[in-house]
Structure 1
Amino acid sequence: MNQALQIRSALASEQLPVPCQAWFQTLITQQPPQQRTLPALVAAAKARLLASDLTASGLFDTTSPPPVFPREVVSSSPASVQETCLAHDVVAQVVDLENVSQSRWQQVQALEAIERGEQKRGREIIRVLAGGDAGNDGEAGDETDTGNGNADGRPVARASATGGTSDANATHRLVLQDAAGQTLFALELTRIYRIGIGRLRIGEKLLLKKGTVVARGTLLLEPASVRFLGGQVEPLNKAWVEGRLARLRSEAQAAGQRE
């Protein structure tokens, strides 16, 4: 088996979408000869894929694209489908995120803390590197803290970036995009601690499992229905932070003037 096929098999085993053959060949040729061992190539492929926009031209083979959202739930009137379930796993990327349980000013403060490179862990303010302190699989480095997780490895609830109160009861709404460019709203049906401003990055890849409920055009997320694959698309994340911060400030100021 050649290296491209071996890398392809390794990505598929981790339930990642598999790019086209040309993508693998380019990846291999761009690596220095001393780094063309299979483990190094698999790691490089995974990192590059998780940092890629799923909708990028030429990423996937047009004859065998990855599974996407069912057409009936992303149609012009998705609310007409009262309830259905995903018939297969779908890998999607985060393109928008909002904590709907916070006020506009609280959201502004959270994003400003991220912009400054500050986030809170308990009562301690920590600094993160520009672009996020990457942990395993491209996930945000502030997600876990050795010795402070639950027995199943899930991180415990932490203080938010805005003032030391736990986000255990927060509710987040996401916009997720599949490889075909289709988007769906997603809402936490049950609190998922991995979802949060500063923890979940724009462009991060999520595996939405077969059987995930879609009610009136909205994916209902529970811990068992989603797997976080990691990653971040830096241009998308930067544009989102800057654009959302400006919108939130404007909305918060307008609300304050009305009061």
Structure 2
Amino acid sequence: MASAEQIAAQIMSSKSLCVSSSWLNSFLASSQLNVPVSALTKTALFRVLASDIRESLATNPTSLFPVDISDPAVQERRIPGPIPVQVLDIEDIGTSLWSQVEAIERIERGEAIRGREIVRTVNVGDDNEGAETGSSSNIGTAAAPSASGSSGSGPHRLILQDAHGTKAVAIEMQHIEGISLDKLPIGAKILLRNATVARGMVLLDVNCSTLLGGKIEALDKPWKEGRKARLLQRIDSMRDEANQSG
């Protein structure tokens, strides 16, 4: 039977994740006996990526955010890492709030956008390609919204959390494949190396960010279900502020 040390070493070597020995011992205690080390390691990694890293990962100073990472008084600094983090929130800051609400509502109605037409998708038997075209609307060219109600154009603003629980705001400085509202679930893990932090914000680019995958189901589902309400609340708040200032 594989030992916790073997599995920990393989996960550290392949993903730079330092798994907690107590978490691994608990995992092994609930696993089947006589399973190959490679299979156990894959299962352990899958569960780590689906876990809260505050429970599954061991910590040391180099694998954590500085405690004052959000200090806007610090003009710029580099955090060497590697620092594993999990995504607590993601926002498309390149698309207006109201456009995002409208995209979600189109998805709720079973509609998508194709060029200048609104298309209502219908399933006929097993034919998933059947579609009923609605009236043409002068809305301009747009990408079809995803199930999350966004074209995923970005750039994106994320809330990241390290294994100690420290949170930081991150901004996508260039497009990173896999970072979008329909591809990046809440609880997904990202590994940061040599990331720049400016005025309290982590600047994400392809050189410092490695997407490891994963999802925390208990966080992802309610986040998706409550997204429209949060967007509407922000729109109302902005309207109230505008009325007060006027």
Mapping for residues 1-259 of structure 1, pairs under 5 Å = 3-33=3-33, 36-56=35-55, 59-61=56-58, 64=60, 67-74=63-70, 78-110=71-103, 159-161=144-146, 167-168=152-153, 170-210=154-194, 212-252=195-235
Q: 1:253: how far off?
A: 5.9
- Which structure has more RCO (C-alpha within 8 Å, separation ≥ 6)? 1
With 177-186 and 25-34 compared, the bigger mean Cα shift is at 25-34
Answer yes or no: is the 8 Å Cα contact 1:89–1:207 preserved in 2: yes
Amino acid at match of 2:219: L
CA distance, structure 1, for counterparts of residue 19 and residue 235 of structure 2: 42
Amino acid at match of 1:207: L
Amino acid at match of 2:168: L
Q: 1:99: how far off?
A: 0.3
Unaligned runs of 5+ in 1: 128-157
With 4-13 and 16-25 compared, the bigger mean Cα shift is at 16-25
Q: 1:246: how far off?
A: 1.4
Answer yes or no: is the 8 Å Cα contact 1:95–1:177 preserved in 2: yes
Answer yes or no: is the 8 Å Cα contact 1:18–1:66 preserved in 2: no
TM-superposition CA deviations, 1:114-138 (whole Å, max 9, x none) = 889999999998x9xxxxxxxxxxx
Percent identity between matched residues is: 36
Answer yes or no: is the 8 Å Cα contact 1:19–1:61 preserved in 2: yes
CA distance, structure 2, for counterparts of residue 247 and residue 165 of structure 1: 15
Q: 1:7: how far off?
A: 0.6
- Which has more strand, going by share of residues? 2
Amino acid at match of 1:54: I
Answer yes or no: is the 8 Å Cα contact 2:152–2:182 preserved in 1: no
Residues 196 and 114 of structure 1, relative CA distance in 2, 3 Å threshold: farther
Residues 116 and 181 of structure 1, relative CA distance in 2, 3 Å threshold: farther
Decide which structure has the larger Cα Rg and report it.
2
Answer yes or no: is the 8 Å Cα contact 1:174–1:185 preserved in 2: yes
Unaligned runs of 5+ in 2: 124-142
- The secondary structure found in structure 2 opposite 1:80 is coil
Q: 1:167: how far off?
A: 4.5
RMSD, aligned CA: 3.7
Answer yes or no: is the 8 Å Cα contact 1:120–1:161 preserved in 2: no
- The secondary structure found in structure 2 opposite 1:25 is helix
Count how many residue pairs are aligned between Structure 1 and Structure 2: 220
